[in-house]
Structure 1
Amino acid sequence: MTFPDLRPEIPDIEAIRGAIDVNRPLADLTWFRVGGPAQLLFQPADEADLAAFLQRLPQEIPVLVVGLGSNLLIRDGGVPGVVIRLSPRGFGGVETVDATHLKVGAGVPDKRLAAAALDAGLSGFAFYHGIPGGIGGALKMNAGAHGIETCQRVVEVRAVNRAGEIVRLAADDMGYSYRHSEAAPDLIFTSVLMEGIPEDKDAIRRDMDAVAAHREAAQPIRSRTGGSTFKNPDGHSAWKLVDAAGCRGLRIGGAEVSEMHCNFLLNVDNATAHDLELVGETVRARVLATSGIRLEWEIKRLGLFVEGQEIKEFLGA
């Protein structure tokens, strides 16, 4: 699909310093390596550039923010409007503020934050060593692992709203719950002040090694995947429900439920986004039929279906 060029609709666009691309394919920016183009992809130079762009962007043009693309499925029809990607170059800094605090850019990969915390002698960040995403996404979805969640580290978040205003939010303002934040959907997080606990670096390194070993042994980390596909329902493990529904190894087109960990979807043979979402909805329908439980997607599915390839939730069940 090819979208109309949005640049003529943005006043004084030549004043924007970041990179602007029209009909930019997004597949190479996601871990699944699938999906259609962005009508306009904007990669701001820094927070001020992001604010200036949003001040100029007409309110009727939709905005979607993507990070490192690890927990994201872009549909084959692409994404209308503006896609904003916070690159590590503009938003990838980690600064030691004092003995217990780090200032972290929203474009920092989770694994890099874990390494920076080790260098600073701060514990409480080792769980990020096993999460294949970026801090912006972690703030949005309260990413967590091994009994620790992002909300436990957050002190204050900086963001830019749809009007191009810079705002600050305390941890309580984020409205955190399991894999969710109640922060206004138009906010684009740019950085966060996080708090750790001073600890011996050897102890922190052991924690990180344990996280890496667990991930290596239990997850298909060398495959084209989007991480955990479904949220764990209260009192249940998603992978156990998927397994009990007979979906381990289920394959449609080039997409497959991982044999190693059946809460992971894989692009094993030039899958399309349609293949992947159809496998996911087939799994949801089978789990609903066998257990009565409606699994919720943890992976974000965004963009347009190709005409004639629409997929209904739970296959219409």
Structure 2
Amino acid sequence: MSGAELLERLGDRLSGLRGRLTPDAGMDKITWFRAGGPADVLFQPADEEDLSAFLKAVPEDIPVTMVGIGSNLLVREGGIRGFVVRLSAKGFGQAEVVSDTRIRAGAAIPDKRLAAAALEAGIGGFHFYHGIPGGLGGALRMNAGANGVETKERVIEVRALDRKGELHVFSNADMGYAYRHSDAPRDLIFTSALMEGYREDPDVIRREMDAVQHHRETVQPVREKTGGSTFKNPPESSAWKEVDKAGCRGLTIGGAQMSPMHCNFMINTGTASGYDLEYLGETVRAKVLEHSGVRLEWEIKRIGEFREGRGIDPFLGQML
């Protein structure tokens, strides 16, 4: 079913929505990899109320997929069925300082902007977000962290809507945070979070942010089309070390390459398809498994359908 046909099927159910509905939306324009097939329909809600109305209007047999700013996302060539929801910057991208140590931030705010808002307010503990290329919604979902700090250390509570459009408020404990993981149900769409730091001299915060930026520019391919860290760090090791030991630094398949600069970063050299990128990732996983017995787990979120005849088995079907 095309995006136009899906919208026609729902007809008046979607009338009254204030957000933007885009049929057959190219996901390659959203993802930082600049690759991937189209979404049947992309919906950008105006605000939390508009999102709730949308979720209540869409029958539960129609898939609804949430995406953030596209930094840690790989979309397969066959595209995404049903609706893709992407929160608008206007409705979900603001940060409000609510006390000397607390900030309420929308889930669409880029991590870097959250760090800047904390700096302006003299609130410490948010400097690590300056080095994370993503948005707060993704950080809440995967407990994003850097420089020895994780999202779970800042979260007080999280607002989210479920698939039926009902509002929930979760405490830090409710989120079930672990390394690059939360136990929050997969169908939740985070809309905002109340977060807490501590009073800090802005000059100290700025120095911490400058150190984060210097580290990123020194060791990571920040000017490439990349999705950030490709694999989670395995216990007692680092993903990049395992990739390097398996001889995969600089490994290239089609237009996809494991960065020679930081070999846990996968990059689109200019012509990579979603298939190239995922095939490269699974090739690396297979080589690391063969070399050291370590099963690397994806940190990049992979969504959508494979193009017919172009499926990819995990670890390329080896040693499963």
Under TM normalisation by the shorter chain, which class is it? over 0.9
What's 2:8 paired with?
A: 8
Q: In 1, distance between residues paired with 2:82 and 2:4? A: 10
Give structure 1 regions of 4+ aligned residues with deviation exceeding 6 angstroms: none
1:5–1:39 CA contact under 8 A, matched in 2 = no
Q: Give me the identity figure in percent.
A: 60
RMSD: 1.0
- For the pair 1:71 / 2:72, whether they are aligned, the reply is yes
State the TM-score, normalized to the length of structure 1. 0.98
The answer on 1:285 being equivalent to 2:286 is yes
In the alignment, residue 184 of structure 1 is paired with which amino acid? P
Shift of the 179–45 alpha-carbon distance from structure 1 to 2, 3 Å rule, reads same
Is the 8 Å Cα contact of residues 18 and 45 (structure 1) preserved in structure 2?
Answer: yes
- Asked whether the equivalents of residues 140 and 181 of structure 1 are also in contact (C-alpha less than 8 Å), the reply is yes
Taking the aligned partners of 2:134 and 2:5, their CA distance within structure 1 comes to: 30
Between the aligned partners of 1:41 and 1:261, the Cα distance in structure 2 is 33
Query: Which residue in the other structure is 1:148 paired with?
Result: 149
State the one-letter code of the partner of 2:233. Answer: N
**Aligned pairs, how many?**
317
Residue 14 of structure 1 deviates from its aligned partner by: 1.6
Give the match's secondary structure for 1:5: helix
Distance 2:195 2:173 in 1: 13
Separation in 1 of the partners of 2:86 and 2:233? 28
Deviation of 1:3 (Å): 5.3
Q: Determine if contact 1:132/1:227 at 8 Å carries over to the other structure.
A: yes
The equivalent residue for 2:33 is 32
Deviation by residue 1:130-189 (Cα, 9 ceiling, x = unmatched): 000000000000000011000000001011111111110111000000000101111100
Q: Distance in 2 between matches of 1:58 and 1:9?
A: 11
Match of 1:84 in 2: 85
Letter matched to residue 224 of structure 1: K
**Contact 1:75/1:305 (CA < 8 Å) preserved in 2?**
yes
Equivalent-residue separation in structure 2 for 1:8 and 1:169 (angstroms): 36
SS in 1 for 2:190: strand
Shift of 1:40: 1.0
- Residue by residue over 1:44-87, the C-alpha shift from the partner in whole angstroms, topping out at 9 and shown as x without a partner, is 00000000000111010111100110000000110001100012
The one-letter code of the counterpart of 1:216 is: E
> Mind listing any 5+ residue stretches in structure 1 that lack a counterpart?
none
Residue 305 of structure 1 corresponds to 306
Contact 2:13–2:58 under 8 Å retained in 1:
no
Superposition TM-score, scaled by structure 2 size: 0.97
Write the distance in 2 (CA, Å) between the matches of 1:232 and 1:268.
24
What whole-Å deviation, never above 9, does each CA across 1:215-274 have from its counterpart, x for those lacking one? 000100000000000000010100000000000010011010100000000000311000
- Aligned partner letter, 2:256: A
- Give the counterpart letter for 2:106 in structure 1: G
CA displacement 1:77-116 (0-9 Å, x = unmatched): 1000110001211101100101110000000000000000
